[in-house]
Amino acid sequence: MESTTTSSGTMINRSLEWFGDLGSFSWKVICAAITRPFELREILRQIDEIGSKSLPLVALAGAAIGTVFALESRSSLVHFGAKAMLPAAVVYSIIHEMGPIITGLVVSGRVGAGIGAELGSMKVTEQIDAIEASAVNPYKLLAFTRILACIVVLPLLTLVTDFCGVCAGWITETLADPISIHRFLDKGFSGVNFSDFLAPTFRTSAFGLIIGLVACFQGMRTRGGTEGVGRSATSSVVLSSLFVILADVILVKVILIFFP
């Protein structure tokens, strides 16, 4: 019993210490972000690196969820005599929830691991120390640029996921019961307002902040050589995915309050 209590206390202390270090890291990144130079070229490079190389993956994920959701929904809606609601169900579910959360989780897996491993490798090989010795702020050059790129790119990737999901849903429905793309979109978007589209898409900026911040933090605190790099990459994916899911729960409630 005593050992269980001790281990629980140790876990709580480590968790509190981790959040404290994360807060200190976030403050350093904020302070670095508001000082010159702004590293515009590096920001654009990271946007291209994170965005373009994640594009095929999120497009495939979007097409997959559109296909699966159309297949699963069709049988249920036909059973209840509501087959005509299929386009609206596919469009509404993808735009509101499936597109944003799938994009966040897919990017957290690819980008989180990449950033964690890259910065972890730079840390254990003392490249970050060399950058700092050259009078360059590593929190600006390495952390802020990647975090900002994640914030900018996630909503754009979400649009790609939504588009591929809706198109795959239409193709799946057409193979079972032919319907024109114009009619499918007309019925699908008939009950969707601009606010229904805007808030879920831009909440992924919060996912980008979480992914970039956690991955950079884990990478820049790497210890223990190559094994430490592997641990940083793994922890970046696990923690960023966990926090994306928790943030999604909170943001969905907030969106329902302000955009009922």
Residues with Cβ within 8 Å of 77's Cβ and at least 6 positions away in sequence, in order, are 83, 85, 86, 89
User: 94 near 165, Cβ under 8 Å?
Assistant: yes
**Residue 31: its H or E element:** helix 2-33
Distance CA 128, CA 59 (A): 34
Q: Which of 222, 248, 247 is nearest to 236 (CA)?
A: 222
5: confidence class by pLDDT, cuts 50, 70, 90: low
Assess whether pLDDT exceeds 60 at residue 2. Answer: no
DSSP class of 189: S
Instruction: State the Cα–Cα distance between residues 126 and 120, nearest whole angstrom.
Output: 10
Convert the pLDDT of each residue in 121-130 to its tens digit. 888 888 888 8
Identify the pLDDT of residue 226.
Answer: 79
Residue-level pLDDT at 8: 66
Written as six digits, the tokens of 125 are: 């090989």
Question: Is 78's pLDDT higher than 80?
Answer: no
Record the tokens describing residue 57, joined without a space: 């993956």
Cα(46)–Cα(58) distance, rounded to whole angstroms? 17
**What pLDDT is stored for residue 87 in this prediction?**
82
Q: 190 phi and psi, to 5 degrees?
A: -65, -35
Domain residue spans of the chain: 39-258
Per-residue pLDDT averaged across 1-9, rounded? 61
Task: Give percent of the chain with pLDDT exceeding 70.
Answer: 95
Determine the average pLDDT of the residues in 225-245.
88
The reported pLDDT for the residue numbered 161 is 93
Taking only the tens place, the pLDDT of each residue in 16-58 is 888 888 889 889 888 888 887 777 888 898 998 888 888 999 9
The residue-averaged pLDDT of 226-255 equals 88
Residue 53 identity: K
Q: Average pLDDT of the chain? A: 85
- Whether 154 shows a pLDDT value over 90: the answer reads yes
Query: pLDDT tens digits for 178-197?
Result: 888 888 888 878 877 777 77
Residue 221 binned pLDDT confidence (cut-offs 50, 70, 90): confident
